[in-house]
Amino acid sequence: MSYLLYCIFRQPVPEVVKIPDDEFVGRVFTVNYDGLGAALSELARSDEPPDPSQLLAFERVVESFYSHSTVIPMRYGCRVGDPHDAVILLRDNQDACRAVLRQLEGLAEMGIQVLLDNRMHGLGTDRLARLPEWFPSRSGISGTAYLDSTKVGRHSARPRTTVQHALVENLCGRLHGSSIRHKVELTSSGGSRLLSLYFLVPCGSVEAFRFAARHFFADKSREARIEGPWPPYNFVEALQTQVGAQGGSLENRPL
């Protein structure tokens, strides 16, 4: 038996936090150490892969805390052997956790998914659903690294790579004023390519971000999807790696 780790936050837990009543979520409880807290639930069958309903239930729990407090969201699959292990995790990573919580104060994640080939073959509507954020990125890189990588050999790049680079560069330039960081991920399936961009946005700038993104795609022929605000799943990988390395009994892997 093990325990699923949802998020880390500052104590105390706001009394207004309401945990979703969901058949896919066990009893959610919290542990704390020196002003830090972690949300957990018992994971009876830890070796079975999750289905979309479990992933969505996990998200709802994280968002119930995020709606009232700054949180460090964990990806689905982060778990500890027992509640005491979670306390040890907080103790051993307290400085890093406090630093990240300060950095995330007042920030949200927005996502934009762009279908590059204008066809759905091989992807299906569920591929455009908001599910990949709970798994470690397969090909995600920072926006700056992505743009830098495309500068090498640009003149010899295939036309579609040049067009893709221009799309990312123009879009990120348009949204620069309403976001502070971004990451880029490109996936493909069945011959179709999906470009996913994740932006760290001040909560007060969410509507301005959404308006600017919609305006950018208004005259484009590409199919795009604008989503969020979410907890910043895609901007805490460094801490999750550090927690996994230092937390001892923490099992930080996708199920």
Domain 107-232 listed as CATH 3.30.70.260: yes
Per residue in 157-183, pLDDT tens?
Answer: 444 567 778 888 889 988 988 899 999
| CA separation for the pair 191, 186 (Å, rounded) | 13
Closest-CA residue to 209 (of 197, 222, 220, 223): 197
Residues with Cβ < 8 Å from 129, sequence gap 6 or more? Answer: 52
Half-sphere exposure of residue 252: CA atoms within 13 angstroms, side-chain side: 21
Per-residue pLDDT, 199: 95
Percent of the chain whose predicted confidence (pLDDT) is above 90: 33
* 48/144: higher pLDDT: 48
| CA separation for the pair 41, 20 (Å, rounded) | 12
pLDDT tier for residue 94 given thresholds of 50, 70 and 90: very high
pLDDT above 90: residue 129: no
Would you tell me the crossing angle of helices 94-104 and 83-92 to the nearest 10 degrees?
80
Half-sphere exposure of residue 178: CA atoms within 13 angstroms, side-chain side: 18
CB environment 29-48: b (16+ within 10 A), e (fewer):
ebbbbeebbbbbbebeeeee
Q: Give the E-state strand segments of the chain in sequence order.
A: 2-10, 28-33, 36-43, 71-73, 78-80, 107-115, 141-142, 181-189, 192-202, 223-230, 251-252
| CA separation for the pair 242, 150 (Å, rounded) | 29
Q: Where in the chain is the domain with CATH 3.30.70.260?
A: 107-232
Per residue in 102-117, pLDDT tens?
Answer: 999 999 999 999 887 6
CB atoms within 10 A of CB 104: 20
Rg (CA), the chain: 19
